[in-house]
């Protein structure tokens, strides 16, 4: 019990720290992520030494730190295309077309989980792509399947491009068709791509379904279940389809990812409830500059199942209707309620 | 004097307007049917572009065969297959968009309903305040 108390204290400290330095920590965090992304791309596709300089990477990361995820994804895509272009304009054109198709059919639906499109290929390099489905299974909706699958496809596209770039004839126009056919063939030869995408999709979907149920330790069970599905899926694929996924590194990667998700889940309350909002508004008498600090609710961490029987009456605190409404008001939490019959017109100001 | 209840309410409203409310308020300007139709249109455009790109890739991949057999190809049959596949793909996306964006719209509308209710509450507070002011003035 002592360890748990210590951990809870530590979490409280982390939360206060985040609240205090949020304005600094967030950009720094995004800077590190952006730098990691650009550096990985430059290492994996090191065809243009000019672009691959640390100065440019740092400058790009500095820009990426202050811009929304969409721009970061776009910058990553442009950098990758530029690198491939230095090796072979033909391959670069092919990458552009594949990106366009991917965007039209899948990546368009990424929404707020767009980071996954970049995170999956990068984590593949570190042999840890399992982290993304396990994490998104805990926090996201099934819509997160789209960016995750896009990320998997992008990783394998670049893997094939890397292989193709070692060929001799990649710059001659005469060999364009042969090169193209070769790239497509080897892309479809990578069965791991389809299997990985499918397993990740199943993991996210199942975790989302289980997470919404109501029983004790539901979050912990969901994470373990996601990891088990992942491991079993890849083991089964290894046996049945004769594909090449290193079993040892897969299991190790999944277990480490699972542990990281456990840590993330424990600290989730820090991230979810630390976002201090600074808002400005006015009325007839004053200008208001409000710093709104969310109150923490430890009960949010764990779903508790309580059963009420009919003959027990719960004493309830009496609140006036207006106060009750103010107390209850939370857009996200209460959105699944049935709305009252109301006219929603623009003139209701 | 600053009315704390009012400030709390206005803060909640301001935070909502600043974060998720931005999208909800934009979306609230559409009727459900218009919004879903617009999204379906976006989908059709994107899927059409994507489909033609894939088609171009397939044609490029089969280029040698197509040129070799250019004389004896069943062009009508091919056209039918291409069109059929296109219709199937578009139908799937349109159906998914109809369901998906419909759900999204309803979800967003529910949040917006709360927002309007809060606005009404704020207005009643104003009226209350004005009423009190009026009473005080009458006394004087």
Tell me which H or E stretch contains A94: helix A89-105
Q: Where are the domains of chain B?
A: 37-128
Q: Provide, as residue numbers in chain B, all residues whose Cβ is less than 8 Å from the Cβ of A287.
A: none
Average the pLDDT over A168-192 and give the result.
Answer: 82
pLDDT for A225-281, tens place per residue?
999 999 999 999 888 877 767 788 899 999 999 999 998 888 776 666 567 788 888
| A52 CA: distance to closest CA in chain B (Å) | 31
Question: What's the whole-number mean pLDDT along residues A10-27?
Answer: 82
B94 touches chain A (CB under 8 A): no
Task: Return the exposure string of A200-216: e unless at least 16 CB atoms fall within 10 Å of the residue's CB, then b.
Answer: bbbbbbbbbebbeeeee
Contacts A–B by Cβ distance under 8 A: 100
State how far residue B115 is from chain A, nearest Cα, in angstroms: 8
| Tokens encoding A343 | 């006219």
Beta bridge partners, A279, equal A290
CB contact under 8 A, B61 and A104: no
Q: What percent of chain A has pLDDT above 70?
A: 81
The pLDDT score that the predictor gives to residue A179 is 85
- Using H for helix, E for strand and C for coil, what is the string for A113-145? HCHHHHHHHHHHHCCCCCHHHHHHHHHCCHHHH
Nearest residue of chain A to residue B90 (CA atoms) = A105
Question: pLDDT tens, A273-309?
Answer: 567 788 888 887 888 888 887 766 554 455 556 667 6
Candidate from B8, B113, B118 with C-beta closest to A344: B113
Contact with chain B for residue A339, Cβ under 8 A: yes
Burial A136-147 (b: 16+ CB within 10 A, else e): bbbbbeebbbbb
| pLDDT recorded at residue A305 | 66
C-alpha to C-alpha distances, B130 to A272, A288, B79, B125, B140, nearest whole angstrom? 39, 20, 73, 9, 15
- Reported as a single tens digit per residue, the pLDDT across B5-37 is 888 888 888 888 888 888 888 888 899 999 999
Is the CB of B105 inside 8 Å of chain A's CB atoms?
A: no
Q: Work out the mean pLDDT of chain A and round it to a whole number.
A: 81
The three-state secondary structure class of A247 is helix
User: Does A101 contact B115 at a Cβ distance shorter than 8 Å?
Assistant: no
Report residue B90's pLDDT band, with 50, 70 and 90 as the boundaries. very high
Disruptive mutation site among A110, A141, A283, A286 for chain B (greatest number of B CBs within 10 Å): A283
Under 8 Å between Cβ of A89 and A100:
no
Per-residue pLDDT, A272: 61
Closest approach of chain B CAs to the CA of A343, in angstroms? Answer: 9
Give the 3-state secondary structure of chain B: CCCHHHHHHHHHHHHHHHCCHHHHHHHCCCCHHHHHHHHHHHHHHHHHHHHHHHHHHHHHHCHHHHHHCCCCCCHHHHHHHHHHHHHHHHHHHHHHHHHHHHHHHHHHHHHHHHHHHHHHHHHHHHHHHHHHHHHHHHHC
**So what's the pLDDT on residue A213?**
87
Contact A184 B116 (CB under 8 A): no
Kindly state whether B9 is in contact with chain A, defined as any CB-CB distance less than 8 angstroms: yes
Q: How far apart are CA B26 and CA A77, in angstroms?
A: 29
- Please tell me the distance in Å from A258's CA to the nearest CA on chain B: 30
CA distance A102 to chain B (A): 8
Using alpha carbons, select from A37, A38, A29 the residue that is nearest to residue A123.
A37
Residue A319 forms contact with B (CB below 8 Å): no
Question: Is the confidence at residue A101, as pLDDT, over 90?
Answer: yes
| Lowest-confidence pick of A46-60, A93-107, A194-208 | A46-60
Confidence category of residue B105, pLDDT binned at 50, 70, 90: very high
Q: What is the pLDDT of residue A330?
A: 52
Q: Could you tell me which residue, A305 or B66, shows the higher pLDDT?
A: B66
CA–CA distance from B76 to each of A57, B80, B82, B83, B88 (Å)?
53, 6, 10, 10, 18
Q: Are A205 and A222 in contact (CB under 8 A)?
A: no
Q: What is the pLDDT of residue A60?
A: 87
Mean pLDDT of the region A37-52 = 85
pLDDT at B79: 93
Contact A177 B14 (CB under 8 A): no
Q: Average pLDDT, stretch A110-114?
A: 82
d(CA B61, CA A124): 29
Return the pLDDT at A335.
45
Highest mean pLDDT among A138-147, A211-220, A280-289: A138-147
Residue A213 — φ and ψ, nearest 5°?
A: -75, 170
Which of the two residues, A5 and A76, has the higher pLDDT score?
A: A76
Q: Which residues of B touch A283 (CB under 8 A)?
A: 6, 10
Residue A122's nearest CA partner among A44, A64, A28 is A44
Q: What is the pLDDT of residue A67?
A: 84
**How many angstroms away from the CA of A220 is the closest CA of chain B?**
28
Q: CA A330, CA A347: separation in Å to the nearest integer?
A: 23
pLDDT band at A343 (very low <50, low <70, confident <90, very high): very low
On the question of pLDDT at B56 being above 90, the answer is yes
pLDDT tens-digit series, residues A312-330: 444 444 455 555 555 555 5
pLDDT of amino acid A269 = 64
User: What's the pLDDT score for residue A336?
Assistant: 45
CB < 8 Å & 24+ apart, contacts of A211-218: A211/A137, A211/A138, A214/A303, A214/A305, A215/A303, A215/A305, A216/A303, A216/A304, A216/A305, A218/A303
User: A72: burial class by Cβ within 10 Å (0-12, 13-18, 19+)?
Assistant: buried
List the single residue in A with minimal CA-CA distance to B29.
A346
């Amino acid at each position: 019990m002592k360890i748990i108390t210590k951990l809870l204290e530590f979490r409280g400290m982390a939360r206060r720290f985040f609240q205090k330095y949020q304005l600094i920590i967030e950009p720094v965090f995004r800077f590190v992520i952006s730098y990691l992304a650009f550096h990985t791309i430059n290492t994996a596709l090191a065809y243009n030494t000019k672009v691959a300089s640390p100065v440019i990477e740092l400058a790009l990361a500095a820009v990426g730190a202050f811009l929304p995820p969409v721009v970061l994804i776009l910058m990553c895509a442009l950098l990758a295309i530029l690198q491939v272009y230095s090796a072979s304009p033909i391959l670069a054109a092919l990458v552009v077309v594949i990106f366009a198709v991917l965007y039209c059919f899948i990546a368009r639906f990424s929404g707020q989980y767009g980071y996954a499109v970049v995170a999956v290929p990068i984590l593949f390099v570190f042999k840890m792509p399992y982290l993304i489905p396990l994490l998104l299974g805990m926090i996201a909706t099934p819509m997160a399947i789209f960016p995750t699958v896009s990320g998997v496809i992008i990783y394998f596209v670049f893997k094939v491009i890397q292989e193709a770039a070692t060929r001799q004839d990649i710059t001659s126009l005469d060999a364009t068709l042969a090169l193209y056919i070769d790239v497509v063939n080897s892309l479809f030869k990578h069965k791991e791509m389809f299997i990985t995408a499918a397993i990740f999709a199943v993991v996210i979907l199942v975790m989302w379904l289980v997470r919404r149920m109501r029983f004790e330790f539901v979050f912990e069970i969901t994470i373990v279940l996601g990891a088990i599905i992942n491991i079993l899926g890849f083991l089964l694929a290894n046996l049945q389809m004769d594909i090449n996924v290193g079993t040892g590194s897969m299991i190790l990667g999944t277990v480490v990812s699972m542990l990281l998700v456990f840590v993330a889940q424990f600290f989730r309350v820090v991230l979810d409830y630390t976002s201090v909002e600074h808002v400005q508004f006015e009325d007839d008498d004053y200008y208001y500059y409000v710093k709104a600090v969310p109150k923490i609710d430890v009960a949010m961490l764990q779903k508790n199942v309580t059963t009420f029987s009919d003959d027990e009456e719960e004493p309830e605190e009496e609140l006036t209707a207006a106060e009750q409404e103010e107390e209850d008001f939370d857009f996200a939490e209460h959105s699944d309620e049935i709305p009252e019959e109301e006219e929603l017109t623009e003139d209701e100001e | 004097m600053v009315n704390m209840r009012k400030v709390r309410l206005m803060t909640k409203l301001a935070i909502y307007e600043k974060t998720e409310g931005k999208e909800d308020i934009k979306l609230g300007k559409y009727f459900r049917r218009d919004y879903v139709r617009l999204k379906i249109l976006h989908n059709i455009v994107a899927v059409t572009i994507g489909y033609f790109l894939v088609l171009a890739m397939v044609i490029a991949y089969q280029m040698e065969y197509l040129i070799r057999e250019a004389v004896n190809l069943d062009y009508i049959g091919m056209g039918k297959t291409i069109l059929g596949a296109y219709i199937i793909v578009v139908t799937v996306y349109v159906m998914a968009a109809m369901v998906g964006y419909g759900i999204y719209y309803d979800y967003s509308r529910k949040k917006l309903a709360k927002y309007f209710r809060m606005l009404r509450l704020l207005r009643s507070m104003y009226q209350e305040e004005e009423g009190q002011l009026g009473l005080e003035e009458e006394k004087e």
